[in-house]
């Protein structure tokens, strides 16, 4: 029996495992890097051991330090979670060699499936040699053979782009996983990412615990997952089950695992890989089958046998991943203090609590919201409304994108959505929310009510006052309006104090029912709408939670400081992060073209390409590999001078992020970052 368990991970998955341990009476041990010293998973554990340093390579990826921590804390078992060392056969062997129970599959099974090329060959699928591709093979997806989370992955549609994309994929794979091997797969533009959850014991029983659909993805990472996968023919489901069970038996699998497939428009299933660990999206399977997969992992590790048959499924479950990122700015990661996180009415798995800081060192996942209902339509409705009513204050998040995705007609139709969903619909899904004007009026009146004017009687009516707000989406950072980062849209609200309340000269259709510093009630068209307003001292961000969703504004000064203006051609950091490399041969005096990649930033476990903001001559370079930069930091200056042969588009923005354009791959396929699974593509 396991008495004390160390979780070799952090954040949401560590908290998730600890919750089950409390239910089972198992003591818990956390490990933490220096930035995570006060993290929620550390606070929830019975004991904690420091891993000195900040970078994952120095902390959570140091198997020797984790094993030493387990021994020092008196643990007798180790659970790897997902990501980090969860699919390291060497780490599994270290754990077992130390006399500890490994809560996972046998190291040999991990090793057999660790390389995607070996896993494919095990099931009779031969990957494409990326160095022998021809025009007839295109389009292809170049993928790292090791690791996951979208690292070392590129879509290639033209032969001319192949050498550069191969070099970039190999460099990124080597830096991320210590293995530069890549392979290629035919790329399906409109495939569905479908997977089978497995659970196996040491006594020969293998459960296929249903299917999941994870097709809504961005940047090779899953965003919305559901169980069961809708609209699959029964014969295809049985085929997927058969392949998944065959893969598990081929390597003597034990514990929880997932086999992933890409299902083409013609209904053909293509094997992608086997993930030898728990998946981020495991809660939807738990909801449908009424099981605790972590508890089953622990019992299997203790040697218990599974019943011959799994429990019967019931209903439908949907999970949405809440990320600290800005979808309107190419999903740029966001940082800062999370002031509020409240998602009512559904299961919420998170590694954060109100007051915690969201930093740059790790994945941008804040929480997972999970809804379960008798039917798929009911589950979608429940989750969408729960997220719409949620109070999420702090960094910009993808919450509005999630709500709109869950309500989109294409996604609502069972089995219609595919991995290209966001490539087709992102612009519409990130358009400003309706009702923003009324929310801005509520913000202005709440702030005015917090600072009441003179109480003396006046013979003359007061002159209207003005408050200006920028839309918070796209403002970046904890306080919004990061240096040099442009804001999208905005509102100017004029109001005047009158007997009994306020007058709104620019909004004659609005009647102010009541206004306090925290709540404003507005009547529009005979309907009274309440708005809850939150303003925190020392912050320029105003959060307004209303009946039509949540709005995030940043105050605009009446008289902007001229010193804060940015010179034309300035390349600004679109996010906080670490400079990992600079374009080869880049130096002051070089001529660059608008949109040309100049350097790469790493933030929250992802690599982000930063492009030239204009065509011209690079007059200054202020960044070098290894530099830590803040949001809006000056990276370089490009003098927007025309080319010798005439106009060349001087001043054209370098990318969707504005100054210092942020460039991301345009391929819609992918998998997920936190648990390291890979992107969908047909072998």
* Whether residue 605 sits in one domain with residue 501: no
Q: Phi and psi dihedrals of 79, rounded to 5?
A: -110, 125
DSSP string, 187-222: PPTT-EEEEEEEEE-TTS-EEEEEEEEEEEEETBEE
pLDDT at 451 over 70: yes
**Helix, strand, coil content of the chain in percent (nearest 5):** 25, 30, 45
Question: To 10 degrees, what angle do helices 399-407 and 421-429 make?
Answer: 110
Domain, as residue range, for 164: 122-186
Residue 199 forms part of a structural domain: no
Answer yes or no: do 83 and 144 share one domain.
Answer: no
CATH, residue 96: 3.40.50.20
Same domain for 467 and 578? no
Is residue 296, in this structure, part of any structural domain at all?
Answer: no
Instruction: Provide the pLDDT for residue 683.
Output: 29
312 occurs within a structural domain: no
Instruction: State whether 536 and 440 are in the same domain.
Output: yes
Confidence bin at 581 (pLDDT 50/70/90) = confident
Q: Which residues pair with 128 in a beta bridge?
A: 184
Q: Is the pLDDT of residue 117 over 90?
A: no
Residue 673 lies in a domain: no
Task: Identify the domain boundary among 527, 556, 585.
Answer: 556
82 touches 9 (CB < 8 A): yes
Is 11 found in the same domain as 90?
Answer: yes
29's enclosing H/E stretch is strand 27-32
Q: Can you tell me the distance from the alpha carbon of 8 to that of 65, in angstroms, rounded to the nearest whole number?
A: 10
- Examine residue 361 and state whether it is found in any structural domain, yes or no: no
Among the listed residues 306, 296, 250, the one whose alpha carbon sits nearest the alpha carbon of residue 106: 250
Six-digit token pair at 553?
A: 């504004």
Q: Which residue among 511, 530, 556 closes a domain?
A: 556
Determine, yes or no, domain membership for 410: no
CB atoms within 10 A of CB 74: 12
Do 27 and 51 share a structural domain? Answer: yes
Q: What is the pLDDT of residues 400-446, one digit of tens each?
A: 999 999 999 999 999 999 999 999 999 999 998 889 999 999 999 99
pLDDT of 548 higher than 70: yes
Question: Which CATH number do you get for residue 644?
Answer: 2.40.50.100
- Tokens of residue 562, six digits: 């001229």
Block residue for tokens 């020392």: 538
Domain harbouring 153, CATH code: 3.30.1490.20
Q: Which residue has the higher pLDDT, 110 or 179?
A: 110
Of the two residues 603 and 165, the one the predictor is more confident about is: 165
Q: What is the pLDDT of residues 344-397, one digit of tens each?
A: 999 999 999 999 999 988 989 999 999 999 999 999 999 999 999 999 999 999
Q: How confident is the model at residue 244 (pLDDT cuts 50, 70, 90)?
A: very high
From first CA to last CA, the distance across the chain in angstroms is 42
Q: What is the pLDDT of residues 619-654, one digit of tens each?
A: 888 888 888 887 778 888 888 876 555 444 333 333
Give the mean pLDDT of 232-239: 97
Which residue in 226, 238, 243 sits closest to 285, CA to CA? 226
Do residue 443 and residue 544 come from a single domain? Answer: yes
Rounded to whole angstroms, the Cα distance separating 317 from 370 reads: 7
pLDDT at 189: 80
Same domain, yes or no: 441 and 552: yes
Is residue 191 pLDDT above 60, yes or no? yes
pTM of the model: 0.83
641 shares a domain with 546: no
d(CA 470, CA 493): 11
Using one digit for the tens of pLDDT, what is the confidence trace for 12-32?
Answer: 999 999 999 999 999 999 999
Non-local CB neighbours of 602 within 8 Å, separated by 6+ positions: 577, 578, 580, 608
**Number of domains comprising the chain:** 4
**Does residue 534 fall inside a structural domain?**
yes
pLDDT tops 90 at residue 118: no
Among the candidates 138, 164, 186, a domain finishes at: 186
Please report whether residue 594 resides in a domain: yes
Q: Give yes or no: residues 141 and 71 share one domain.
A: no
Least Cα distance to 502 among 467, 539, 544 occurs for 467
User: What pLDDT is recorded for position 661?
Assistant: 44
Give 218 or 672, the one with higher predicted confidence.
218
Same domain membership, residue 581 and residue 471: no
In a 3-state reduction of DSSP, which class is residue 448? helix
Task: Give me the chain's average pLDDT, please.
Answer: 87
| Nearest-angstrom CA–CA distance, 248 and 288 | 22
In whole angstroms, what is the distance from residue 523 CA to residue 17 CA? 47
Do 442 and 533 have their domain in common? yes
Beta-bridge mates of residue 520: 515, 531
pLDDT at 270 over 80: yes
């Amino acid at each position: 029996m396991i008495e004390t368990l160390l979780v070799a991970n952090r954040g949401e998955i560590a908290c998730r495992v600890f919750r089950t341990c409390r239910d089972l009476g198992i003591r818990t041990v956390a490990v933490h890097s220096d930035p995570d010293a006060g993290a929620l998973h550390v606070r929830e554990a019975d004991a904690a051991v420091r891993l000195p340093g900040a970078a994952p390579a120095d902390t959570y990826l140091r198997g020797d330090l984790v094993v030493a921590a387990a021994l020092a804390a008196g643990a007798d078992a180790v659970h790897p979670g997902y990501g980090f060392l969860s699919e390291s056969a060497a780490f599994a062997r270290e754990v077992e060699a130390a006399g500890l129970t490994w809560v996972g599959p046998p190291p040999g099974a991990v090793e057999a499936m660790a390389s995607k090329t070996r896993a494919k060959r095990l099931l009779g699928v031969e990957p494409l040699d990326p160095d022998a591709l021809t025009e007839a093979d295109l389009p292809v997806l170049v993928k790292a053979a090791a690791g996951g989370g979208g690292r070392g992955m590129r879509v290639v549609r033209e032969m001319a782009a192949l050498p550069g994309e191969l070099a970039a994929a190999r460099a990124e794979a080597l830096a991320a996983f210590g293995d530069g091997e890549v392979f290629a797969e035919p790329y399906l533009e409109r495939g569905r990412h479908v997977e089978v959850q497995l659970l196996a014991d040491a006594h020969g029983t293998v459960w296929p615990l249903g299917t999941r659909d994870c097709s809504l993805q961005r940047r090779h990472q899953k965003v919305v997952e559901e169980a069961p996968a809708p609209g699959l023919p029964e014969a295809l489901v049985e085929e997927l089950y058969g392949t998944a069970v065959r893969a598990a038996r081929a390597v003597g699998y034990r514990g929880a695992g997932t086999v992933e497939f890409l299902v083409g428009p013609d209904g053909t299933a293509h094997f992608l890989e086997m993930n030898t660990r728990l998946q981020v999206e495991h809660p939807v399977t738990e909801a449908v089958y009424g099981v605790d997969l972590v508890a089953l992992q622990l019992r299997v590790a203790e040697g218990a046998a599974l019943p011959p048959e799994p429990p019967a499924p019931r209903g439908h479950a949907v999970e949405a991943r809440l990320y600290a990122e800005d979808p309107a700015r190419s999903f740029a990661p966001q940082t800062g203090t999370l002031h509020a996180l409240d998602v009512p009415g559904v299961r919420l798995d998170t590694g954060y609590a109100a007051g915690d800081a969201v930093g740059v060192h790790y994945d941008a996942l804040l929480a997972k919201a999970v809804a379960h209902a008798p039917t798929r339509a009911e589950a979608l409705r429940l989750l969408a409304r729960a997220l719409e009513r949620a109070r999420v204050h702090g960094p910009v998040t993808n919450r509005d994108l999630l709500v709109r995705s869950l309500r989109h007609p294409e996604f609502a139709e069972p089995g219609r959505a595919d991995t290209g969903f966001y490539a087709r619909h992102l612009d519409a899904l990130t358009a400003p929310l309706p009702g923003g004007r009324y929310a801005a009026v509520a913000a202005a009146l709440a702030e005015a009510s917090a600072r009441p004017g003179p109480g003396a009687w006046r013979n003359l009516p007061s002159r209207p006052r003005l408050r200006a707000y920028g839309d918070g989406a796209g403002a970046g950072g904890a306080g919004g309006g990061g240096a040099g980062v442009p804001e999208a849209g905005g509102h100017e609200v004029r109001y005047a104090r009158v007997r009994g309340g306020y007058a709104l000269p620019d909004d004659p259709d609005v009647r102010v029912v009541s206004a306090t510093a925290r709540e404003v009630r507005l009547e529009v068209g005979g309907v009274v709408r309440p708005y809850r307003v939150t303003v925190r001292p020392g912050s320029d961000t105003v959060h307004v939670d209303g009946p039509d969703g949540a709005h995030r504004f940043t105050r605009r000064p009446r008289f902007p400081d001229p010193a804060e203006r940015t010179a034309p051609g300035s390349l600004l950091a679109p996010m906080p992060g670490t400079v990992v490399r600079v374009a080869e041969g880049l130096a002051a005096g070089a001529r660059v073209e608008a949109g040309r990649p100049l350097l790469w930033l790493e933030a929250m476990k992802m690599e982000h390409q930063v492009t030239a903001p204009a065509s011209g001559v690079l007059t200054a370079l202020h960044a070098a590999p290894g530099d830590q930069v803040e949001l809006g930091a000056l990276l370089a200056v490009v003098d927007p001078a025309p080319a010798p042969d005439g106009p060349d588009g001087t001043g054209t923005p370098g990318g969707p992020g504005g100054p210092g354009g942020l460039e991301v791959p345009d391929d819609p396929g992918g998998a997920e970052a936190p648990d390291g699974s890979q992107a969908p593509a047909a072998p």
